[in-house]
Structure 1
Amino acid sequence: MRFRGYWLLPLALAGMIFWLSAQGHYPGGIELPPPLDKAAHASVYALLALALDRTLRHTATGLPLYRRHLWILAAVALYGASDELHQFFVPGRSCEFGDWLADCFGGGLGLTLGSLHLLFTRRLGALSWRRGAPRRPDPARDLILVADPHWNAALTGLEAATAAHPGADWLFLGDIFDVWVGFPGMETEAQRAFLAWADARRAGGRWVGLWMGNREYFLDRHAARFDLMGEGIGGALEDESLAWEHGDLINSADRQYRLWNLVSRSGALWLVFRLMPAGMARKVSAWMERKLRTTNAAYKLTFPREAFHAAAQAHAPATFLTGHFHTHEVEANGIALPWAHEGRFMVWRGGKVESLEP
């Protein structure tokens, strides 16, 4: 994590909170009756949470949104508790549990309000992250592209393509399984087999990247098992003029999905899954998979050509790739890759995208 000027604002706010807690009254002798005093607490801590969120977005780019928000809420709660304890020793100031609750509520409210713009915009850096090396050791190698295989029990086409192209690197553009929730006890035998395959390819000196789609949740604990892992927008290989994202965030008009995307990748849902018994969590995961098949059919059936064109042009002159749409489309410098459900893979070779021959 890099220390930059971004940290000045949250540090200044934390210092202001500490200074205010050392006073016997609010500045200017202001007296705030209930519930305005609680609203003041919530407002100050909402600002602190927003400042921390902005800072971590720019200084900890490998931190997923849910982890970032959980760390911020924990920091706000701990700082609020220390603030209330500090007030216990200040003449004229009371230490109240209700103030601490207001502090915590303010932190959560600040993060919620700070995320609302993600429902409407293509500026999605706040929910995007990546870890690893965005550069291949040998860009001259074939890069096999796998988009939306939606595997279940069998990794269709993977073994055959590996045997036919042993020297190739690999990039997976999301929706690898029908649903993949990265918690111990929830992963399937097929998912464990895929991770073992990735380990073997990397042990053989091949580059393997995984960019998460709308059916992968909380996989960052596996990031070290890939050369590159990420989510949201901003996927790219340096020096190869290649950029990508999964594609689920292309259509900013799909508000229903944007809201689901935020909720399903939130710290609150992570906590719910962690607290669930494994059996119940697997049932919820299966229910999510069934819902994802039928939700927002109108948006899924129509390729958002204008939105896709605009997203591709934002990366010009690089070739811009997505999966997600289950159809092979070419628009300016953008290519939507075909559905790999039956082992239909593509390849990035010599600066072009082609069908991978057996």
Structure 2
Amino acid sequence: MRFRPSWLLPLAAAAAIFWLSAQSHYPGGLELPPPLDKLAHATVFGLLALTLDLALRTSSPGLPMYKRHLAVVALVALYGATDEWHQRFVPGRDCDGLDWAADTLGAALALAVAYLPLVFTRRLGWSGWRRGTPARPHPDRDLVLVADPHWGRALTGLEAATTAHPEADWLFLGDVFDVWVGLPGLETETQRAFLAWVDARRAAGRWVGLWLGNREYFLDRHADRLDLLGEGMGGRLEGEALAWEHGDLINTADRQYRLWHLVSRSGPLWLLFRLMPARLARRVSSWLERKMRTTNAAYRLAFPRAAFRAAAAAHPGTTFLTGHFHTHEVEANGIALPWAHEGAFMVWRGGKVEAL
């Protein structure tokens, strides 16, 4: 984590809170009777949470949103407890445990309110993250592109393509499985077999990247097993005119899904799955997968051509790729890759995208 000027904001906010708590009365003799005093606590500590979130986003781009928000709420709660303890020694001030509860709740609500407007814009990139190296050691090699294989109990086509193209690098553009929750006890034997395949490819000196789609959750614990692992917008290869995202965030009109995108990558949902017994969590993830097959079909059946063209235009001078739409479409510099069903993979070769 690098120190950025954005860290000056939470430091200034924390210092201001400490100074205010050291006063026997609010500035100007202001009196705030309950519950306005609790509202003031929630507001001030909510602002502290927002400045912390900004600092972490700019200094730690490899930190997923759920971890970032859990860290922010934990830091604010810890600072709030310290602040309450400090007030015990200030004449005329009372130490109220409800103030600490307001501090913590204010932090959580501030994050939720600040991120909710992202449902209506392309700025959902705030929810994205990236770890690893976006540069291939041998950019002259073929790069096999796999979008939306939706594997279940078999890695259809993977072994055959590996045998036929042993020198190639690999990039997976999301929805690798019907659903993949990367928490201990929830991964399937097929998913573990895929990770073993990744290990073997990297041991052979091949570059392997995975960009998460709308059916992968909490996979950041596998980041060290891949050359590149990321989510959201902003995928690219340095030194090559290639950029991408999964495609689920292209259509800004699909607000129902965009809200689900934020909720499904949030700290509370991660905590819920971590606290569930593994058997129940597997049943819930399977239920989610079934629901996703049929929910919001109106937005998934029609290709959002104008939105796709606008997203591609934001990456001039590159070939911009997505998966997600299960159809092969070309708009200016943008290419939506076809569904990688039954091993129908594509390849980036010589600066062009073609069928493998």
Q: TM-score range by the shorter chain?
A: over 0.9
> Which residue pairs with 1:247 in the alignment?
247
Letter in 2 for 1:66: Y
Instruction: Establish whether residue 288 from structure 1 lines up as the match of residue 288 from structure 2.
Output: yes
Instruction: Establish whether residue 69 from structure 1 lines up as the match of residue 69 from structure 2.
Output: yes
Aligned length: 356
Residue-by-residue CA offset, 1:2-25 (whole Å, 9 max, x unaligned): 112101110000001111111111
Instruction: Give structure 2 stretches of 5+ with no counterpart.
Output: none
Distance in 1 of aligned mates of 2:264 and 2:104: 22
> Which residue pairs with 1:32 in the alignment?
32
> Which residue pairs with 2:152 in the alignment?
152
> Which residue pairs with 2:207 in the alignment?
207
> Which residue pairs with 2:275 in the alignment?
275
Distance in 2 of aligned mates of 1:173 and 1:181: 16
Distance in 1 of aligned mates of 2:350 and 2:341: 25
Cα deviation for residue 317 of structure 1 reads 1.5
Cα deviation for residue 335 of structure 1 reads 0.3
Match of 2:341, SS state, is coil
Distance in 2 of aligned mates of 1:352 and 1:126: 30
Write out aligned runs for 1:1-358 (5 A). 1-356=1-356
Cα deviation for residue 72 of structure 1 reads 0.2
Cα deviation for residue 124 of structure 1 reads 2.5
Cα deviation for residue 248 of structure 1 reads 0.2
Distance in 1 of aligned mates of 2:317 and 2:295: 34
Distance in 2 of aligned mates of 1:121 and 1:224: 32
Match of 1:243, SS state, is strand
Distance in 2 of aligned mates of 1:52 and 1:89: 27
Q: Which runs of 4+ in 1 moved over 6 A?
A: none
Distance in 1 of aligned mates of 2:55 and 2:125: 12
Residue-by-residue CA offset, 1:168-195 (whole Å, 9 max, x unaligned): 0000000000000001110000000000
Cα deviation for residue 318 of structure 1 reads 0.3
Match of 1:82, SS state, is helix
Cα deviation for residue 118 of structure 1 reads 1.5
Q: Aligned-residue CA RMSD in angstroms?
A: 0.6
Distance in 1 of aligned mates of 2:271 and 2:204: 37
Distance in 2 of aligned mates of 1:284 and 1:101: 31
Cα deviation for residue 117 of structure 1 reads 2.2
Tell me, yes or no, if the aligned pair for 2:322 and 2:336 is still in contact at 8 Å.
Answer: yes
Letter in 1 for 2:325: F
Distance in 2 of aligned mates of 1:6 and 1:117: 22
Distance in 1 of aligned mates of 2:321 and 2:236: 10
Letter in 2 for 1:38: K
Match of 1:342, SS state, is helix
Distance in 1 of aligned mates of 2:80 and 2:283: 37
Structure-2-length-normalised TM-score: 0.99
Letter in 2 for 1:262: L
Distance in 2 of aligned mates of 1:171 and 1:293: 24
Letter in 2 for 1:175: D
Instruction: Give structure 1 stretches of 5+ with no counterpart.
Output: none
Letter in 1 for 2:226: F
Letter in 2 for 1:106: G
Letter in 2 for 1:226: L
Distance in 1 of aligned mates of 2:94 and 2:203: 60
Match of 1:80, SS state, is helix
Distance in 2 of aligned mates of 1:116 and 1:161: 42
Residue-by-residue CA offset, 1:272-320 (whole Å, 9 max, x unaligned): 0000000000000000000110011000100000000000011012000
Letter in 1 for 2:304: P
Tell me, yes or no, if the aligned pair for 2:4 and 2:58 is still in contact at 8 Å.
Answer: no
Letter in 2 for 1:125: G
Cα deviation for residue 157 of structure 1 reads 0.2
Which deviates the most, 116-125 or 186-195?
116-125
